[in-house]
Structure 1
Amino acid sequence: MLLLILGLIVFLGVHSTRLFAPQWRARQIAAKGLKAWKGLYALASIVGFVLIIYGYGQARLDPTWLWISPVWTRHLAALLTLPAFILLAATYIPGSCLKARIGHPMLLGVKFWALAHLIANGSLADLLLFGGFLAWATALFVVSRKRDRLAGVSYGKGKPAMDAVVVIVGLVAWAAFAMYLHGVLIGVKPLGM
């Protein structure tokens, strides 16, 4: 459990520098240069991510159960991850109305993903992992939207045709992950396939 907690601190901490330490972040970029900052950021993110994966895997071997979720919550979780994949696609596919309206679709997608997994999983490790990501994404989404409004950031209007592309890419990615990759990578088949 300690490695999971350490991984969450490192990964979410690195991804929270704009939230909690924007001046420190700006000073580091000015001192080290943007490429060096991005390199250190990526390295710390990878270390945190590996610690999360390993720590969560270890915690799953001897879980501390806080609640037992009914079987039907797995299906609800699978359904809730669908918008998460669509929002993730909106993050990377430019020109959609969805991205223009939301501004930070990845953070909203992380919130859907985390909530879905909290509903279907009830161990202490699940609460730490998914609850940690839910709290982080919620705080960062609120702060990012506020920062955008104060700075007058506009994401344009977007094109409905690009929304169709976003939805199709999101659906395909969700289907591939839900029906195959989740079982291979995580060891759990959310749709029982």
Structure 2
Amino acid sequence: MIWLILGLALWIGAHFFKRIAPGVRAGMGERGKLLVTVLSLAGVVLMVVGYRAAEWVPVYSPLPGMGHANNTLMLVSLFLFGVGGTKGTLYPKIRHPMLWGVVVWSVAHLLVNGDQASLVLFGGMGLWALVSMVLINRAEVWVPPTGGRGLKGDAMNVAGTLVLLGVIAMIHAWLGHPVFLGTYS
């Protein structure tokens, strides 16, 4: 569990660096971006290793049938991740689409995983995303972006979402967690 917590701390620390010490971060320029990237990647590796190695300690029992809700929420989450990149009709309407995607991802996984490590990982990431939105909103006035691709961007996002969901499902199956066969974790 220590690796999971350390990885989560690295991820959160790296992403809050700009908010906690904006002057220091700005003074680092490109080196600061590289530092955040390296710490974030190290955090992800430690979270994965720590989650997979964590002892299974039950906290609550997920409700039956929540796997379908998980899969549906994952579609929504992945779509939200792509909103900024594909610049569809939601692009000028949703502030922080990637962070909202993390929140939805977190909730989706907490619906089907009731163990301690899942609460730490998925709950921690969801909480990080919510706090990030609050910090950003306090620091910056949002000016909705203009332009975008409209429905063409949405179509691109739907296609990307479906491909990415397939890749994620294959990775989960490879790790022993088939997400479309009724076995969720």
Same fold (TM over 0.5): yes
> Match for residue 129 of structure 1?
121
> Match for residue 25 of structure 1?
22
The unaligned stretches of length 5 or more in structure 2 are: none
Higher helix share: 1
> Match for residue 89 of structure 1?
82
The unaligned stretches of length 5 or more in structure 1 are: none
> Match for residue 14 of structure 1?
14
Aligned pairs for 1:106-125 within 5 A: 106-125=98-117
Secondary structure at the counterpart of residue 93 of structure 2: helix
CA–CA separation in structure 2 for the residues paired with 1:168 and 1:102:
20
4+ residue runs of structure 1 moved beyond 4 angstroms? none
Amino acid at match of 1:169: G
Secondary structure at the counterpart of residue 75 of structure 1: helix
> Quick one: structure 1 residues 166 and 11, their matched pair in 2 at CA, closer, same or farther if it must change by over 3 Å?
same
- In the TM superposition, residue 146 of structure 1 has moved relative to its aligned partner by 4.6
> Match for residue 189 of structure 1?
178
- In the TM superposition, residue 171 of structure 1 has moved relative to its aligned partner by 2.4
Amino acid at match of 1:53: V
Contact 1:97–1:157 (CA<8 Å) still a contact in 2?
no
Amino acid at match of 1:154: P
Secondary structure at the counterpart of residue 101 of structure 1: coil
Post-superposition Cα deviations, 1:101-140, rounded to whole Å, max 9, x if no partner, equal 1132110111110000011100110000000011111121
> Quick one: structure 1 residues 50 and 177, their matched pair in 2 at CA, closer, same or farther if it must change by over 3 Å?
closer
CA–CA separation in structure 1 for the residues paired with 2:32 and 2:69:
40
Paired-residue identity, %: 30
1:164 matches 2:161: no
CA–CA separation in structure 2 for the residues paired with 1:28 and 1:69:
41
Contact 1:64–1:125 (CA<8 Å) still a contact in 2?
yes
Contact 1:7–1:49 (CA<8 Å) still a contact in 2?
yes
Under a length normalisation based on structure 1, what TM-score does the superposition of the two structures give?
A: 0.84
> Quick one: structure 1 residues 96 and 124, their matched pair in 2 at CA, closer, same or farther if it must change by over 3 Å?
same
CA–CA separation in structure 1 for the residues paired with 2:138 and 2:157:
25
Post-superposition Cα deviations, 1:29-66, rounded to whole Å, max 9, x if no partner, equal 31x3x22111111111122111111111111xx21100
CA–CA separation in structure 2 for the residues paired with 1:147 and 1:26:
14
